[in-house]
Amino acid sequence: MTAVPPITHLTVTAGPYSYDARLEWADAPQTCAAFVARLPFESRLVHVRWSGEAVWMPLGDMDFAVGYENHTSYPAPGQVILYPGGISETEILLAYGGVHFASKVGQLAGNHFLTITSGLDTLAPLGRRALWEGAQPIRFAAAG
């Protein structure tokens, strides 16, 4: 039997926009595997409170059972990070501009596991939409 290759690309639909995205298996294999196991993944995006130009999905006590790998406090536009929980709740953050990832308890770091590869020019409008119009639906699914 031939092994099935892992999912390498996702389609992300957020608000009225659609994006292609690449999973970062080489740098965050545990996070990618934990996320792919939950596909399709649906949530709501809200604008960040403390971190700058980003939207986030607050996930409460959802446990992805991963530690830190490829973690950063400064994701670039189009980078998606997973904060696995700890001093703040579990969350996924999508940067659309300058970000210094933080919470009410201070600086955080999340695992960069996914990179948006198309439609980068619509990330800022998505962020403004979440800021001024409220929570936006988001869906991650295997590309294809």
Give how far Cα 80 sits from Cα of 77, 110, 136, Å. 9, 9, 16
Q: Which region holds residue 104: left if phi is over 0, alpha if psi is between -120 and 50, else beta?
A: alpha
Q: What is 9-142's CATH number, 2.40.100.20, 3.40.30.10, 3.40.50.300, 3.20.20.140?
A: 2.40.100.20
**Span 98-109, pLDDT tens digits:** 999 999 889 999
- The whole-model pTM stands at 0.95
For the chain, domain boundaries: 9-142
**Span 41-57, pLDDT tens digits:** 999 999 998 899 999 99
Dist CA 36 CA 22 (whole Å): 12
Dist CA 38 CA 94 (whole Å): 18
